[in-house]
A and B are shown apart, each in its own frame.
Chain A
Amino acid sequence: MAKILHKEQLSENVFLMRLEAPLIAEERKAGQFIMLQIDLDYGERIPLTIADADKEEGSITIIYQVVGLTTDELSRMEVGDDIPVLVGPLGKPTHVENFGTVVCVGGGIGVAPLHPIAQAMKEAGNKVIIIMGARNKELMIMEEDMKKIADELIIVTDDGSYGRKALVTEPLKEICERPEKPDLAVAIGPPIMMKFCSKTTEPYNVPTVVSLNTIMVDGTGMCGGCRVNVGGEVKFVCVDGPEFDGHQVDFDNMMARLNSFKEIEQEKHKCYLDKIIEKKLADQKKEAKG
């Protein structure tokens, strides 16, 4: 059971929550994730990256985008509510050392899991270049937090409403072309973005770490639903990852597998929204009567 200590809306569909989880806060390292479930009997388990942790408060921070049933329900929960299932920290921590120059690329909500990694890279003595991208200004999150870490911060939006009008791969390519090319790239965001970041760095031989967020049931290695092809081998994101060599990941297969339950989930989501609307209408009626 984890109490919600703080809730904040970062953009239209993106929320930040601080959850009471002293043991996870103590053990977690950059790159790790938690599994969360809202209804003990019928809820689904979803993986979310730990964006931050406060050992003293005994809390962890999660940042999530409303994309499905559970994230939608979570966004309707308030400070003081309890989340019945919170498990972690899971997955392998990020390999952090002084590489030299590290370029960190975050796309959309991917900036949240990137933050603790960038922070750890900075603390390890690296020069940290951060590229943040989003579809538009409204969807740009955590700029202030990243500013504090970055030796150099580049902001891009797809529509040019903020920063440079570009995809993250453009500045990434330019950085790779610099005389002092980066020693490592870390890219976290939508699968398609990670795929093209990896494609961008490959010709320059810049090692590239990506953090995968696949379908999981247990998150501890038991179901194999999260399996991906990495360098021709089957790997489990939950126990072997979530971070892998971006140049080895079969992104196309991974993206196909992410859609395994798409139709079923869309149907479920529709039913779920119908229920919410029905409830709202009933409440309104009641209020009108009262």
Chain B
Amino acid sequence: MSHHTVEEIDAVAKKFFDELFPKKDELKVKDRIKIPTMEMPAQDPEERVCNLEEVAIGFTENEAVVEAMRCIQCPTHPCIDDCPVHIDVPLFIENIANYDFQGAVNVIKESSLLPSICGRVCPQESQCQKNCSVGKVFKDVDKAVGIGRLERFVADWERENGEVELPSVKPETGKKVAVVGSGPAGLVVAADVRREGHSVTIFEAFHKLGGVMRYGIPEFRLPNDIVDQEVDTLRKIGVEIKTNFVVGKTRTLTDLMEKDGYDAVFVGTGAGLPLFMGIDGENLIGVVSANEYLTRANLMRAFDREHADTPIYNSKVVAVLGGGNVAMDASRMAKRLGAEKVYIVYRRTELEMPARREEVLHAQEEGIEFLYLTNAKRILGDESGHVTQMECLKYELGEPDASGRRRPIAIEGSEFLLDVDTVIVAIGNGSNPLISHTTPGIKTNRWGNIIVDENQKTTLDKVYAGGDIVLGAATVILAMGEGRKAAKAINEQLEKEIEEEKQVVN
């Protein structure tokens, strides 16, 4: 596919806009179906692998309105049901089609606090766009209405037009809530709880905020400025932020409640310990977890080799193990850091890959080589302990397993060698033990994930949890959804306490 510039793409959109917008109220379903999907403008692949700027540039106004007109406002609205936070998708899209961008943002914000983030990182093709009626007409999920792109468009429009409204905050209640971790779940809890007038403190282990959105997701997919802006909004509404504070170490969760007087605690510490394959050679120099690789590059800014003190490998040939978003991020970061060849090594096929569709396409455009039905068997090194090769094994797909995905089966004798100097392991995370090991009474499952009830409450009174520490490794939007639920439960708990205290006084 040849690359199109924003101008070229916008010219096409303008043609449709000029033709359709004047008669937008008369458009029939069959007219709407005929409108082609608008292309997401992106940086030229050849240029973008040399910089860290955002790859997807975002819709132009013409494109947004035309794409919005593709929505047929079907009565079944599967998009609302398939959204983890149930945004009223048809309504916000209708507003865009009517050129009312502020109105559209307002609709989204009733359900989601961080649309500029979700519009960028949600796996829309397996959520809101999955069962879109327009996509169903074509039997092609890629032809669904571009809900995520529209969400991003209006959120960006609001930021750039300086009309971001601060959420309203109710009068102070005197109740104190601690939020542990400043990732997507924690930020949502902080906002929702603060808005009810409770005082909120976020405790973050790192020196910068945003959790996985800062250390994990790279700048070229989610710019730090956007995360900063969301955090800034929280500061402006009075949320207190303590960085370099590891709950469970700097202070235990129990002490926060018993000594420091927090009335409720939300634990959103995220996925913790990176998993390794358990194969020979995994401790050689040049084998890193994707967490380490991305944290060095993103949070510690090692991509800026000239200024950053934190070193990162000068890799030439890289193999990334895994098929999720983290694997895509790591492979594309390696390319940007100067690797000449980058392989994604994945046991199943492209169809089963859990990564967001757009990230896979972007990675392919950037020249990442995908080795499907392949897995690492062992890693080989030289006498100084540096990685030189990886032995791989070919796989075929067998019968579906419990997860419904076809089980990959190793093909005996299919071993082959890949010359590599770096292996990045991106096969997921175990759970971090820092809180569970230092908090008596908090129960975890056999993978170490904190057990919660339907309201995100843990086995400890007044302690809630959500996001990856509960889910294992999931997505930003699922973490936000859990944060939402937890905040609601915390607000209810505090409201009840305030009522009871009033009765005692009377």
User: What is A's interface to B at a CB cutoff of 8 Å?
Assistant: 23-24, 27, 37, 39-45, 69-70, 84-90, 217-218, 220-225, 227-229, 234, 236, 239, 250, 253, 256-257, 259-261, 264-265, 268
Is B310 an interface residue, CB under 8 A from the partner?
yes
**B291 contacts A44, CB within 8 Å?**
no
Chain B at the A interface: mostly helix, strand, loop or mixed?
loop
**B385 contacts A224, CB within 8 Å?**
no
Query: In chain A, what residue has the closest Cβ to B205?
Result: A220
Is B455 an interface residue, CB under 8 A from the partner?
no
Q: List 29 A-B contacts (CB under 8 A).
A: A24-B250, A42-B301, A42-B310, A44-B300, A44-B308, A70-B309, A84-B207, A87-B244, A87-B245, A88-B246, A88-B250, A89-B249, A90-B246, A90-B249, A217-B295, A218-B206, A220-B249, A220-B432, A221-B432, A222-B272, A222-B432, A223-B292, A227-B283, A234-B282, A239-B434, A256-B285, A256-B384, A256-B385, A265-B311
**A23 contacts B250, CB within 8 Å?**
yes
A87: chain B residues at CB < 8 Å are: 205, 244-246, 250
B311: chain A residues at CB < 8 Å are: 44, 261, 264-265, 268
Interface size of B by CB at 8 A reads: 41
A-B CB pair tally, cutoff 8 Å: 121
Interface string of B131-147 (1 = CB under 8 A from A): 00000000000000000
Query: In chain B, what residue has the closest Cβ to A240?
Result: B433
Q: How far is the CB of A59 from chain B (nearest CB, A)?
A: 15
**B296 contacts A217, CB within 8 Å?**
yes
**B300 contacts A45, CB within 8 Å?**
yes
Please pick, from A24, A42, A43, A224, the residue contacting B289 in the complex, using a CB distance under 8 A. A224
Is B5 an interface residue, CB under 8 A from the partner?
no
**B274 contacts A223, CB within 8 Å?**
yes
Query: In chain A, what residue has the closest Cβ to B296?
Result: A217
Query: In chain B, what residue has the closest Cβ to A229?
Result: B283
CA gap between A27 and B255 in the complex, in Å? 11
A264: chain B residues at CB < 8 Å are: 311-314
Q: How far is the CB of B213 from chain A (nearest CB, A)?
A: 14
Interface string of B302-334 (1 = CB under 8 A from A): 001001111111100000000000000000000
Query: In chain B, what residue has the closest Cβ to A236?
Result: B273
B274: chain A residues at CB < 8 Å are: 222-224
B496: chain A residues at CB < 8 Å are: none
**A224 contacts B285, CB within 8 Å?**
no
B291: chain A residues at CB < 8 Å are: 222-224
A225: chain B residues at CB < 8 Å are: 288-289, 292
User: What is B's interface to A at a CB cutoff of 8 Å?
Assistant: 205-207, 215, 244-246, 249-251, 272-274, 276, 278, 282-283, 285-286, 288-289, 291-292, 295-296, 300-301, 304, 307-314, 384-385, 432-434
Q: How far is the CB of A200 from chain B (nearest CB, A)?
A: 25
Chain A at the B interface: mostly helix, strand, loop or mixed?
mixed
Q: How far is the CB of B115 from chain A (nearest CB, A)?
A: 28
Q: How far is the CB of A187 from chain B (nearest CB, A)?
A: 22
**A85 contacts B251, CB within 8 Å?**
no
CA gap between A229 and B287 in the complex, in Å? 14
Q: How far is the CB of A23 from chain B (nearest CB, A)?
A: 5
B272: chain A residues at CB < 8 Å are: 220-222
**B285 contacts A257, CB within 8 Å?**
yes
Please pick, from B250, B385, B434, the residue contacting A27 in the complex, using a CB distance under 8 A. B250
Query: In chain B, what residue has the closest Cβ to A90?
Result: B249
B273: chain A residues at CB < 8 Å are: 221-222, 224, 236, 239
B249: chain A residues at CB < 8 Å are: 27, 88-90, 220
**B283 contacts A239, CB within 8 Å?**
no
Q: How far is the CB of A105 from chain B (nearest CB, A)?
A: 26
Q: A86-B244, A87-B250 are in contact. Are A224 and B276 (CB under 8 A)?
A: yes
Q: How far is the CB of B341 from chain A (nearest CB, A)?
A: 20
Please pick, from B207, B244, B250, B285, the residue contacting A89 in the complex, using a CB distance under 8 A. B250
**B300 contacts A217, CB within 8 Å?**
yes
Please pick, from B285, B289, B304, B307, the residue contacting A259 in the complex, using a CB distance under 8 A. B285
CA gap between A67 and B289 in the complex, in Å? 26
B289: chain A residues at CB < 8 Å are: 223-225
B384: chain A residues at CB < 8 Å are: 256
CA gap between A260 and B282 in the complex, in Å? 14
A84: chain B residues at CB < 8 Å are: 207
CA gap between A222 and B433 in the complex, in Å? 11
**B292 contacts A42, CB within 8 Å?**
no
Query: In chain A, what residue has the closest Cβ to B310?
Result: A44
Please pick, from A24, A41, A44, A253, the residue contacting B385 in the complex, using a CB distance under 8 A. A253
Q: A85-B244, A217-B300, A218-B295 are in contact. Are A43 and B285 (CB under 8 A)?
A: no
B300: chain A residues at CB < 8 Å are: 44-45, 217
CA gap between A44 and B300 in the complex, in Å? 7
Query: In chain B, what residue has the closest Cβ to A255?
Result: B385
A43: chain B residues at CB < 8 Å are: 309-310
CA gap between A234 and B286 in the complex, in Å? 16
**A42 contacts B309, CB within 8 Å?**
yes
CA gap between A159 and B301 in the complex, in Å? 43
Query: In chain B, what residue has the closest Cβ to A233?
Result: B278
CA gap between A253 and B296 in the complex, in Å? 22
A257: chain B residues at CB < 8 Å are: 283, 285, 385
B434: chain A residues at CB < 8 Å are: 220-221, 239
CA gap between A225 and B294 in the complex, in Å? 12
Query: In chain A, what residue has the closest Cβ to B292?
Result: A223
